[in-house]
Amino acid sequence: MPVQREWFEKDYYAVLGVSSNASPKEITKSYRKLARTHHPDASGGNEDRFKEVSAAYDVLGDQTKRAEYDEARRLGPSAAGGFASGPDGFNVHFEDLDDLSGMFGNLFGRGRGTRGPVPMRGVDQETRIHLGFRDAIDGVTTTVGLGTNPEGERRQAKVRIPAGVDDGQRIRVAGKGGNGRNGGPNGDLFVVVEVAPDAIFGRKGLHLTLSVPVTFPEAALGSEIKIPTYDHSTVTLKVPPSTKSGTTFRVKGRGINTPKAMGDLLVTVEIAVPTELSQKERTAIEALNEVTDWSPRSQEQQED
């Protein structure tokens, strides 16, 4: 992993708001919180801050990169003087390897025919992209930056993100990595996807999740309620009598649909308690309390 100039200019631990001895779990937790807050699609999001947070996590979220970052910071910029600041933070000249190959050929290959340069496969590259919740579900074609080539020109590649990609998923794009040399094949590009959360739906694999509040009478007596779906329509959910708060119902085929599989919508009902009661409501609840001959606590004790 290269030593990059930004490593000496920015304290990535401070960017993520964690200590230098934070655990990987603490780093990931802090990153996810900051990414949700500053994501450009979020209300009040800050794109520059989001990019800064993502750059910090790109290093600290990888144990190998983190160790090299810590060591580079400990030694200071002067210790990295021997590393050239190429487009990826290091400068390996494959031309030099070709020259060395020719030199050794002259030393040990006298009397034999001249051997041409050995084909060399390009290096694999990895990059991160940030997608909105719906782009990740529907699939999208996007352009990713790949740094600069030896001539200083910016490199980009169009990447097709398949429908249903999940947060943290790593996608391989064959032949889009570093250029091969001497007729060798290109390396591969690996794209790590980070998906922004949605204000309404959650995800569990190909299933969408949704939490819906219901009143006590709706849960106790049973009811039919309208719930939103991913395609902006609504479906009717039948809540049977005596439904407990936290019960999850499955709506078939209303999750994430891909060419290979179809997910469902998992709806969890939560009994909502009003913060204020009218006198009429209070009187009715008090009357119900008087005639109720049942305690959920005593039932739990019997089950134990």
Tokens in use for 135? 């782009």
Residue reference for tokens 């309620």: 225
If asked whether residues 169 and 216 sit together in one domain, one would say no
Digit-coded pLDDT (tens) for 141-180: 988 887 766 666 777 888 899 999 999 999 998 888 888 8
Residue 263 forms part of a structural domain: yes
> In the chain, what percentage of residues exceed pLDDT 90?
37
Amino acid of residue 77? P
What is the count of structural domains for the chain?
A: 3
Residue 292 lies in a domain: no
The dihedral sign for the CA sequence 155, 160, 164, 170: negative
The reply to whether 98 falls in a domain is: no
Let me know if residue 40 belongs to a domain: yes
Distance CA 226, CA 220 (A): 17
- Helices 63-75, 47-60: axis angle to 10 degrees equals 90
Q: How far apart are CA 56 and CA 80, in angstroms?
A: 20
Residue 258 has a pLDDT of 86
Q: Are residues 144 and 207 in the same domain?
A: no
CATH assignment of the domain containing 172: 2.60.260.20
pTM strictly above 0.85:
no
147 inside domain:
yes
Beta bridge partners, 16, equal none
Final residue before a domain boundary, out of 51, 76, 91? 91
Do 69 and 40 belong together in one domain? Answer: yes
Query: Within this chain, do residues 178 and 219 fall inside the same structural domain, yes or no?
Result: no
Look at residue 235 and tell me if it is in a domain.
Answer: yes
Domain-located, residue 35: yes
Task: Check residue 146 and give left, alpha or beta (phi > 0: left; psi -120 to 50: alpha).
Answer: alpha
Q: Which of 48-52, 202-206, 220-224 has the lowest mean pLDDT?
A: 48-52
Q: What is the CATH number of the domain that holds 14?
A: 1.10.287.110
167 & 242 share domain: no
Q: Which range marks the domain in which residue 262 is found?
A: 202-276
At 183 the pLDDT is 85
Per-residue pLDDT band at 61 (split at 50, 70, 90): confident
How far apart, in whole angstroms, are the C-alpha atoms of residue 126 and residue 136?
19
Is residue 174 in a domain? yes
pLDDT in tens, 65-124: 888 888 777 776 654 444 434 444 333 333 334 444 444 444 444 444 455 678 888 888
| Segment 30-40 mean pLDDT | 84
| Same domain assignment for residues 230 and 272 | yes
The answer to whether residues 71 and 7 touch, using CB atoms and an 8 Å cutoff, is: no
Question: Among 169, 168, 176, which Cα is nearest to 143's?
Answer: 176
Query: What is residue 83's DSSP assignment?
Result: S
